[in-house]
Amino acid sequence: MTFIITLLALVMVNPFTPANNELSSRDKVEIVIESNDQMKFNMSEIRVKEGDTIVLTLKHVGKLPKAAMGHNWVLLTKDTEMGPFAQKAVQARDNEYIPADGEGTIVYTDLIGGGEETTIEFEAPAKGEYVFICSFPGHYALMNGKFIVE
Ligand code: CO
């Protein structure tokens, strides 16, 4: 999947394809969000523009291992409710707490432990307000924020 997205991104930024002029002028936005051993993200709100290519890096600046204090960054679809989603996610231990087929999500990172980081690249969804969480058991109540597409 990542490979396909990368290929699409390459096609979209190809300056030699006249039909893609509009797409190639779009910005690539880098976002770095930190998470820690206190079960917190360092951002409660992220703002981007529709159609932006987002390069998002999640850093775990703590020391605790993944099994005890794992963090991921999960962007939920607009019609996904945080609480019920998180309850489903708890049961998906074998899939790093992501429900099967990523149901209810737009995109998500790997689950990481202290000292690790992980990066994903994706296209910003349609204008609107979305919610991001960490889906590790018990974390979403403290680890959530708004992802606003303008
Ligand atoms: Co977490």
Range 25-149 classified under CATH 2.70.98.40: no
Distance from Cα 38 to the centre of ligand 1, integer Å: 9
Distance from Cα 21 to the centre of ligand 1, integer Å: 40
pLDDT band at 23 (very low <50, low <70, confident <90, very high): low
Q: Contact 110/87 with Cβ under 8 angstroms?
A: no
Distance from Cα 18 to the centre of ligand 1, integer Å: 44
Residue scoring higher pLDDT (1 or 39): 39
The predicted model gives 62-88 an average pLDDT of 97
Sketch the domain layout of the chain as residue ranges. Answer: 25-149
Tell me, yes or no, if the pTM score tops 0.85: no
Is the pLDDT at 147 greater than 90? The verdict is yes
Residue scoring higher pLDDT (6 or 37): 37
Tokens at residue 63, please?
């020391």
User: What is the C-alpha separation between 145 and 130, in angstroms, rounded?
Assistant: 9
Distance from Cα 139 to the centre of ligand 1, integer Å: 5
* Residues, beta carbon < 5 Å, ion ligand 1: 71, 134, 136, 139
Q: Give the DSSP per-residue string, 31-46.
A: EEEEE-TTS-BS-SEE
Strand blocks (E) in 13-143: 28-35, 45-48, 53-60, 74-76, 105-108, 117-123, 128-133
